[in-house]
Chains A and B, each alone.
Chain A
Amino acid sequence: MLRLDSVSRHFGDQHVLDGISLTVPDGQLLSVVGPSGCGKSTLLRTIAGLLPAQEGTITIDGTPVHGVPERLAVVFQEYGRSLLPWLTVRDNVALPLRRRGLGRAARRAEAETMLERVGLRGAARRHPRELSGGMQQRVALARALVCRPSLLLMDEPFGSLDAGTREDLEDLLLELHRGRDATIVFVTHDIDESVYVGDRVVVLSPGPGSRVVRDLSVGLPGERDQLTTRGLPGFVELRTEVGRALRGR
């Protein structure tokens, strides 16, 4: 269980996060929505231990976390910058396995299995730049999941992909998440996406000094489908509610 207790952060005298408290049960996919510039990324980086929390505490399963949590994985929006261009796709995916102390061959084998699961079986020996944006983000997803993280943080992961690719990757994420106990914090500025992928949606207020203004449970069936789910009355209601919260109404 991930727990944030009045986490605040400022850069100089600019308040970015103002007392964020959240409890995320194991296995939940939490969408975090907020207007751009509200500090969503800062929140994610703080949870990841890449930025120190200045006030408040972050605990995982009751233990306070300082620095980068164990069994953490991240996916950033800018796949082109977070994949290492000098490594093959397979070696990029194998990278996080180093900390598990596996040998090179074992790492590569696991990476290839994971690549198969994200539909990139044939791309193992290619380099990231040879792939399309959607494929590169699949690689990033495979890299994040290969070490079976207990906490996965995603910062607008599909934000720079075209609509079709984006939907494919949303479904891939849901499929890979099914039956796993990883907790996922999924930051997005897209209302529909937040509801479609999320078990729960948290809306942040616009900055400076972002706070949680709405906390909604997504009561949609677990099996989701791009066409039918988005047409459900429950979906439409939720997205209206999230939209309203975003506009401060």
Chain B
Amino acid sequence: MTRRQDVLLGLLGSAAAFGVCEAVARAGFVRRSYLPPASQVLARAVRLAGDPAFLDGIGVTLRAWALGLGLACAVAVPLGLLLGAVPVVEAAARAVIEFLRPLPSVALIPLVSLLLGSGTRTEVTLIAYASLWPVLFNTVYGLGETDPLAKDTLRAFGSGRLAVLLRVELPATAPFIAAGVRISAAVALILAVATEILSGFGQGLGIFIAQAETATDGTRDVLAGVVWAGALGLVINGVLVRAERRLFAWALEPRETAGRLRRGLRW
């Protein structure tokens, strides 16, 4: 499929979804104040772009998102390298990781709020915790996928264990890490907004949504906030996909090992 067709179909799908939402609301199955038509929600969302207070909130949310995601990467990549490179550590940590991983991060919001208060610290901690996993697992997985022949080649040229890790395994794993970061970026956004909604005061996109809920006829504002959250996710994903294609063009070639990776990067 060409890129043009891709874009065209994407637009078509979006228009169809918009049309359905609009039609359901206008058909009057539900009360207008519960489910305003898509056009009104969209118009409100666009108007919000001119509201400095709202934009400040977006800035606060994005700052927490970036901090949390950055922190997660700073922990997950070295930890993943350690786990992937030293089987003993991996075996020792496996049970702990498998215990922690399925815990729903959203369920930790009250606990962490209790410990750290309801400010940025809580938000960043939760984002970092939730977005740690995709980066961590992709790092470990990518290390395992590194071509043993490339490692042998470097060893034969006199490189030590650490040099092989830094010059072969880390670069070879980078596309996997990047894919993990992209998945984490979405997780981080969910956690940022969810934490704000549940903690309920301060500033941010989630706060906007939480406060709109309590207003009369607030559904339109809630949905407009949701549209913003979705749009942010879309833009972030698009930027990251482009960055991956640029940085890891060498991994996109149809080589025997790259097939799976290519699909991974695509979506």
Residues of chain A whose beta carbon lies under 8 Å from any beta carbon of chain B: 45, 48-50, 68, 70, 72-74, 76, 78, 80-82, 84-86, 95-96, 98-99, 127, 129, 147, 153
| Bound complex: CA A49 to CA B159 (Å) | 12
Closest to A44 in B: B156
| Bound complex: CA A99 to CA B257 (Å) | 29
Q: How far is the CB of B163 from chain A (nearest CB, A)?
A: 8
- Total CB contacts across the A-B interface at under 8 A: 65
Once the chains bind, are A129 and B153 in contact (CB under 8 Å)? Answer: no
Among candidates B156, B171, B257, residue contacting A84 with C-beta atoms closer than 8 Å: B171
Q: How far is the CB of A194 from chain B (nearest CB, A)?
A: 22
Once the chains bind, are B255 and A129 in contact (CB under 8 Å)? Answer: yes
Among A49, A84, A153, chain B packs the most CB atoms within 10 A around the CB of: A84
Among candidates A76, A86, A127, residue contacting B153 with C-beta atoms closer than 8 Å: A76
24 pairs across A/B with beta carbons < 8 Å? A50-B152, A68-B155, A70-B158, A74-B152, A76-B149, A78-B149, A81-B147, A82-B149, A82-B150, A82-B152, A84-B167, A84-B172, A86-B174, A86-B250, A86-B251, A95-B154, A96-B157, A99-B158, A127-B250, A129-B250, A129-B253, A129-B255, A147-B157, A153-B156
Q: Using a Cβ–Cβ cut-off of 8 Å, how many residues does chain B contribute to the interface with A? A: 23
Once the chains bind, are B157 and A95 in contact (CB under 8 Å)? Answer: yes
Which residues of B sit under 8 angstroms from A49, Cβ to Cβ?
Answer: 155-156
Which residues of B sit under 8 angstroms from A85, Cβ to Cβ?
Answer: 250-251, 253, 255
Once the chains bind, are A96 and B158 in contact (CB under 8 Å)? Answer: yes
Among A78, A127, A129, chain B packs the most CB atoms within 10 A around the CB of: A129
**B168 in the interface, Cβ–Cβ < 8 Å?**
yes
Among B172, B250, B257, chain A packs the most CB atoms within 10 A around the CB of: B250
Once the chains bind, are B251 and A82 in contact (CB under 8 Å)? Answer: no
Closest to B152 in A: A50
Closest to B256 in A: A80
Among candidates A72, A78, A80, A81, residue contacting B156 with C-beta atoms closer than 8 Å: A72
Q: How far is the CB of B57 from chain A (nearest CB, A)?
A: 40
Closest to A82 in B: B153
Scan residues 211-267 of chain B and give those whose CB is less than 8 A from a CB of chain A.
248, 250-251, 253, 255, 257
Contact with A along B135-151 (1 / 0, CB 8 A): 00000000000010110
Once the chains bind, are B156 and A68 in contact (CB under 8 Å)? Answer: yes
| Bound complex: CA A80 to CA B250 (Å) | 12
Among candidates B150, B152, B157, residue contacting A99 with C-beta atoms closer than 8 Å: B157
Closest to A100 in B: B158
Which residues of A sit under 8 angstroms from B152, Cβ to Cβ?
Answer: 45, 48, 50, 74, 76, 82
Which residues of A sit under 8 angstroms from B150, Cβ to Cβ?
Answer: 81-82, 84
| Bound complex: CA A95 to CA B168 (Å) | 11
Once the chains bind, are B156 and A73 in contact (CB under 8 Å)? Answer: yes
Which residues of B sit under 8 angstroms from A73, Cβ to Cβ?
Answer: 156-157
Once the chains bind, are A80 and B171 in contact (CB under 8 Å)? Answer: no
Once the chains bind, are A81 and B250 in contact (CB under 8 Å)? Answer: no
Q: How far is the CB of A139 from chain B (nearest CB, A)?
A: 12
Closest to B255 in A: A80
Once the chains bind, are B153 and A99 in contact (CB under 8 Å)? Answer: no
Which residues of B sit under 8 angstroms from A48, Cβ to Cβ?
Answer: 152, 156
Q: How far is the CB of A45 from chain B (nearest CB, A)?
A: 8
| Bound complex: CA A16 to CA B63 (Å) | 60
Closest to B168 in A: A84
Among B152, B172, B248, chain A packs the most CB atoms within 10 A around the CB of: B152
Q: How far is the CB of B244 from chain A (nearest CB, A)?
A: 13
